[in-house]
Structure 1
């Protein structure tokens, strides 16, 4: 099979396409033919040398922590799936390849109507947003500020918060303000003076803030949210520690992913694909994600032509 790999940490240029053996699913595992796999900031960070807490990254490594595809075969003793089933799922590494072997309990069924690009890019962004809003106890009547609201995680966070009864103010570049209005958020431009602009939009105050962008978002948040336990980030952990705020991390589960799939089926979750890339253009895709202004997600399609 073909895969996007890196032999050493570094910039996007360290990525290359390599031919690797098709993985063999072990007991309790499933072999999936990958048709779409999203790219997260976590993927670019791992490529750059970061190791997630409690994990191990052995080189050479295949990035990609979310995917969708078709079940090819089952490992010994595996139940619950059949060859030909369409699925979406998650794993720390390995998604940016034509095949992946994954634990069966990290998969959920893909709705027939869900586009492959949406299915392949839901798990990481969707579960990250779900964990963050749960940890911040976002619910009915809250005013939530989402930094980086037009990105992959922000897109889901806005819609989840709205579904849970919150009013959402979202930061984004001017070109994405119409998009945020379509998602149900009140858009605001980021940059100097952000706190004053948010106060004008929320005269009764802001109850919680979720940072999916960095770039000074936490400093602005502490001016707006009285309860620091309700300010959290998924990107700027150093500043969070310095200011006594929350670095948000949580366990991904099939149950959490299935809840997000049900929300999509009910029409309550729009998933935006910024661009798709073959494996040979993975470096270009990583650069797009690292630029930090992607609307929705960049997606690798491992079987597409150059």
Structure 2
């Protein structure tokens, strides 16, 4: 007899109202996997993209999965079973993970649920001094900032460019973080500061006090002034927002500097960058338990922290997705199911 659990499932692509809280089969666990009782799970942009069927992408990239799907990648919870070939984790361990990303990006990684099976290589012990809500808010945003700014950590082909993304030295350099109030942005500010950079945060005015508290040396309210008109000779701009006209920041970067694009799809400044000697680079974030363990030490010691925009019970996932669509998110949105 199949064991059941509660989960939020998607039976057809569409809006937040398509997310249904219902009974679903509990996942089975492979010999190199760990079964986790999920206590909290955070929302990330790929959750919304998949819910909508990736309609922002060219039609040839649209997924054709088998419904129903269970969205979500970022979890914090407790180990309830361990595969026979797994070492390093035990029943009762508090853990966190970004589950099967990008491998399951087009079909759902199964995190909006009471239980999820996780490859042991993608799992790390939860930082002890933070709660499950903060731990669940970390994985994708933290790994994105880490892989862009600190260590790529893998040799997988880069789907966005022909060359491997390589982080640049940050100590003593000037780093501009565009979209600094968001999930990736607020962590990028803290990691760049930890690495010894002078950090300029670009966001709306409601984020200024927070970002200065997180270590930003300067703050620019993009709703009042065009940041590219006041920032000159930056060593690196990391854009976490995407969208159009990101290439405007090229005028703010010194010769030989770099621009890192978390979402590169609308960038059109390749020719100008080449003329200015600016390296433009991007990469696809990938699951890594080892990197979550390394970065987790910064969370545990309070060197960096995860800001929570809002929390919702799991059964209100549709409301959480509506919040995500409303914009002006400060940090992360988290679903809880204690």
- CA gap of 1:267–1:249, structure 2 versus 1, over 3 A, is same
Residue 220 of structure 2 corresponds to residue 188 of structure 1 = yes
Query: Which of 135, 145, 152 in structure 2 is aligned with 1:119?
Result: 135
Measured at CA, do residues 87 and 240 of structure 1 come closer, stay the same or move farther in structure 2, by a change above 3 Å?
A: farther
Cα distance change of structure 1 residues 287 and 229 upon mapping to structure 2, 3 Å threshold: farther
Determine if contact 1:146/1:211 at 8 Å carries over to the other structure: yes
Match of 2:324 in 1: 289
Please state how far the C-alpha of 1:158 moved relative to its aligned partner: 0.4
- Normalized against structure 2, the TM-score is what? 0.81
Residue in structure 2 matched with residue 66 of structure 1 by the alignment: 74
Instruction: Return closer, same or farther for 1:270/1:210 CA change in 2, 3 Å cut-off.
Output: same
The whole-number CA distance in structure 1 between the counterparts of 2:88 and 2:268 is 41
Distance 1:170 1:125 in 2: 17
Contact 2:121 2:290 in 1 (8 A): no
1:193-212 paired onto structure 2 within 5 Å: 193-199=226-232, 205-212=233-240
Check conservation: 1:136, 1:230, Cα contact below 8 A: no
The counterpart of 2:50, out of the listed 46, 51, 58, is 46
Is residue 171 from structure 1 mapped to residue 202 from structure 2 by the alignment? yes
Secondary structure of 2:95 counterpart: strand
The answer to whether residue 144 in structure 2 is matched with residue 128 in structure 1 is: yes
Q: Are 1:194 and 1:220, in contact at CA under 8 Å, matched by a contact in 2?
A: no
Unaligned runs of 5+ in 2: 102-108, 151-165, 274-279
1:214 CA drift (Å): 2.4
Q: 1:239 pairs with 267, 270, 280, which one?
A: 267
In structure 2, C-alpha distance between the alignment counterparts of 1:36 and 1:176, rounded to whole Å: 25
TM-score (norm. length: structure 1)? 0.89
Superposed CA offset, 1:168-210 (max 9, x none): 11111111101110011121112462211334xxxxx211111
Q: Quick one: structure 1 residues 90 and 250, their matched pair in 2 at CA, closer, same or farther if it must change by over 3 Å?
A: closer
> Residues 18-43 of structure 1: CA distance to partner in whole angstroms, max 9, x if unpaired?
21011111111111000011111121
Give SS of 2:170's match. coil
Alpha-carbon distance in structure 2 between the residues aligned to 1:60 and 1:241: 40
Asked if structure 2 preserves the Cα contact closer than 8 Å seen for 1:136 and 1:232, the reply is no
1:202 maps to which residue?
Answer: none
Paired with 2:31 and 2:7, the residues of 1 have a C-alpha distance of: 23
